[in-house]
Structure 1
Amino acid sequence: MINYLLNRFERNYKGTREGLRTGLGILAGKIGLLSNLVLFLIKLMIGLLSGSVSIMADAINNLSDTISSILTLIGFYISGKPADAEHPYGHERFEYISGMLVSVLITFVGFQFLITSVKRIMNPQSVKVTGLVLVILIFSIGIKTWQSFFYQKTAKKIDSNTLVASAKDSINDVFTTLTVLLSAIVEGITGLRIDGYVGLLIAIYIIYSGFKMILEFIDALMGTRPPQAEIDAMKEHLSLVKDIVGYHDLLIHNYGPNKVFASVHIEIDDTWDLRKAHDTIDLIEREFKHGLGVDLVCHMDPVSLHDQEQNRIYLLLKEIIHSLDNNLKMHDLQIEQKDGETSTIYFDIAIPKDFNLTDNELEERIQYAVEQKIGEFQVEITFDHIYLLI
């Protein structure tokens, strides 16, 4: 059923790849809106008839899911808008904002459940358990399970964090409804009024889920390390370019699932003419765009491959650095030699995440070792603390 819906939508869609993503997101939002609204109305009715606070809490949870679906729809509509003068990188990050609003709403509803459940614990009331109540709760579990699988498949197809959150929320609802069902059965068999306690457990679980999703969307808005698979794919593309000497300082900027920009420093032979260097860089950027969907900007770093003195200093300097820590990586070596003045060695060092020396301490040790093994040179070091290629 799920694959049929998604495949039929794709077959009938005539727009762009980005438009297809937006369309599938809107489809998921509409299906979620309809199913959550139906569940809310049904549970509200049986909650009022049975007097169960846990069923009422579950009904209000479905109401929050209905509002979440509306926010999801709004999020996909806005994130699908093309770039404009005020938003040159597009609007896809709004999807993270809509997901954040959904998470805040879930957390707020959880606190409301908490208050209601505490009141019910203090003043317990009997729950009227009927066959209709049991049937409706089982029906709800089935709908929410299907909804979760639908969100998961759609989220995987279009790479949507918002739908991943919606899928988690749906499966949470399955567990909470199972708990409500259990409390109704326990009271029907034993007469124990555990309705308020079950509502309290549901409330705590909803609050926890809400806070967890809020933190995830905060991370997405602030910018987190890209998935390792994404980094490895870029490294593989760069490693296949035979003419370049090397690469470093890869930076990746995410402006939404389909808006990825990156920059990298490409080391080239300093004897190349400008046309050859440009053609090589242009080829790399085109391959990133067509193969990975990434807008790449390359910075050229000329490397002297034919200067024997510079190669000698490079090998000695590399030996010095690796003697301090084998995980340290050096690049961008430049040597400035002046008659009658102390010569200067310029280079960058990529610092591993858990390196135990400060930048000043490391520079002092390298300076001392250079004077001992290479000669009277002043070192000027740029320290890189970005870990994508380390």
Structure 2
Amino acid sequence: MNKIGIKATALGAIFNTVLFFAKFYVGISTNSLSIYCDAINNLGDTFACLIAVLGFFLARKVTELKSQKIQSLCTFVISLIIAATGAYFVYNGLQRLMYPLRIAYSEEYAYIIIATVFAKILMGLMYMAFNKKASSPVLKAMILDSFLDCAVTIFALMGLFLITKVNFAADGIFAIIIGTAVTVSAVKNTIEQSKFLINN
């Protein structure tokens, strides 16, 4: 089970790093806060995957209960990282509303972001396939995060597009919506894993 987990999360770290650089490039090039925040979200996912790799590695030679505790602890830490990322989105969204900046939109950038949505869908399906082979709370968290990220990226793309149509800091609003959704989901997962750690 742990070998499967290591393989799944190691691949996730690689893919999320690629997505981070792609979105970071678009975010900086367009000056879009929502895309930039989405890039940081992928960077957080990369660190989360690396923590998961470490957790699966440490859980290789322990009892089943200890292995579950290690995985649950990793999921707890991952959720904290995601929650912090979500709060960062909200903070930056509020700043953008107060200090709006000019956005540079182009179809080329939009296509790159659309491609990253499909990439995240494939990652979610990959985690699902690995989880069927060896069920793990870590992989389940990764599945949820992958599909949530698809929605996050779609919202970010909408923010990038809408800012060209209205004279308003729309990407700031979308960053706040994205941040709130990410934070709420992560906090729920944190509470769930903390209950498991306390009761076992």
TM-score by length of 2: 0.94
Which protein, 1 or 2, shows the higher relative CO under an 8 Å CA cutoff with sep ≥ 6?
2
Corresponding residue of 2:144: 168
User: Which of 33, 39, 55 is the matching residue for 1:53?
Assistant: 33
Percent identity over the alignment? 26
**How far has the Cα of 1:127 moved from its partner?**
1.4
When Rg is computed on C-alpha atoms for both structures, the one with the higher figure is 1
For the residues of structure 2 that align with 1:144 and 1:89, how far apart are their CA atoms? 31
Q: 1:89 to 1:182 in 2, by over 3 A?
A: closer
Q: Deviations over 1:300-349 (max 9, x none)?
A: xxxxxxxxxxxxxxxxxxxxxxxxxxxxxxxxxxxxxxxxxxxxxxxxxx
Amino acid at match of 1:110: G
Corresponding residue of 2:50: 70
Task: Note if contact 2:96-2:169 (Cα within 8 Å) is conserved in structure 1.
Answer: no
User: Which of 34, 37, 40 is the matching residue for 2:14?
Assistant: 34
Higher strand proportion = 1
Q: 1:119 to 1:82 in 2, by over 3 A?
A: same
Q: Deviations over 1:231-287 (max 9, x none)?
A: xxxxxxxxxxxxxxxxxxxxxxx7xxxxxxxxxxxxxxxxxxxxxxxxxxxxxxxxx
Q: Deviations over 1:349-390 (max 9, x none)?
A: xxxxxxxxxxxxxxxxxxxxxxxxxxxxxxxxxxxxxxxxxx
Q: 1:121 to 1:192 in 2, by over 3 A?
A: closer
Task: Note if contact 2:16-2:43 (Cα within 8 Å) is conserved in structure 1.
Answer: yes
Q: 1:118 to 1:137 in 2, by over 3 A?
A: same
User: Which of 197, 203, 214 is the matching residue for 2:190?
Assistant: 214
Q: Classify the secondary structure of the residue corresponding to 1:80.
A: helix
Corresponding residue of 2:163: 187
Q: Classify the secondary structure of the residue corresponding to 1:124.
A: coil
Amino acid at match of 1:159: S
**Residue 203 of structure 1 pairs with residue 183 of structure 2:** no
1:295-374 equivalences under 5 Å are: none
1:234-253 equivalences under 5 Å are: none
Q: How many residues align?
A: 200
Corresponding residue of 1:138: 114
For the residues of structure 2 that align with 1:92 and 1:216, how far apart are their CA atoms? 14
**Residue 158 of structure 1 pairs with residue 134 of structure 2:** yes
**How far has the Cα of 1:204 moved from its partner?**
0.5
For the residues of structure 2 that align with 1:179 and 1:40, how far apart are their CA atoms? 16
For the residues of structure 1 that align with 2:161 and 2:59, how far apart are their CA atoms? 45
Unaligned runs of 5+ in 1: 1-20, 224-253, 255-390
Amino acid at match of 2:109: V
**Residue 79 of structure 1 pairs with residue 55 of structure 2:** no
Amino acid at match of 2:91: I
For the residues of structure 2 that align with 1:101 and 1:167, how far apart are their CA atoms? 16
For the residues of structure 2 that align with 1:220 and 1:153, how far apart are their CA atoms? 25
Amino acid at match of 1:183: G
User: Which of 119, 125, 131 is the matching residue for 2:95?
Assistant: 119
For the residues of structure 2 that align with 1:131 and 1:119, how far apart are their CA atoms? 26
Task: Note if contact 1:183-1:198 (Cα within 8 Å) is conserved in structure 2.
Answer: yes
For the residues of structure 2 that align with 1:97 and 1:104, how far apart are their CA atoms? 11
**How far has the Cα of 1:132 moved from its partner?**
2.0
Q: Classify the secondary structure of the residue corresponding to 2:103.
A: coil
**How far has the Cα of 1:133 moved from its partner?**
1.3
Corresponding residue of 1:177: 153
TM-score by length of 1: 0.49
For the residues of structure 1 that align with 2:65 and 2:22, how far apart are their CA atoms? 43
Q: Deviations over 1:77-125 (max 9, x none)?
A: 0111235xxxx96444201111100001111111111111100011111
Q: 1:212 to 1:93 in 2, by over 3 A?
A: same
Task: Note if contact 1:187-1:194 (Cα within 8 Å) is conserved in structure 2.
Answer: yes
Task: Note if contact 1:36-1:66 (Cα within 8 Å) is conserved in structure 2.
Answer: yes
For the residues of structure 1 that align with 2:42 and 2:67, how far apart are their CA atoms? 29
**How far has the Cα of 1:189 moved from its partner?**
3.5
Amino acid at match of 2:4: L
Q: Deviations over 1:46-97 (max 9, x none)?
A: 11111111111000000000000001101110111235xxxx9644420111
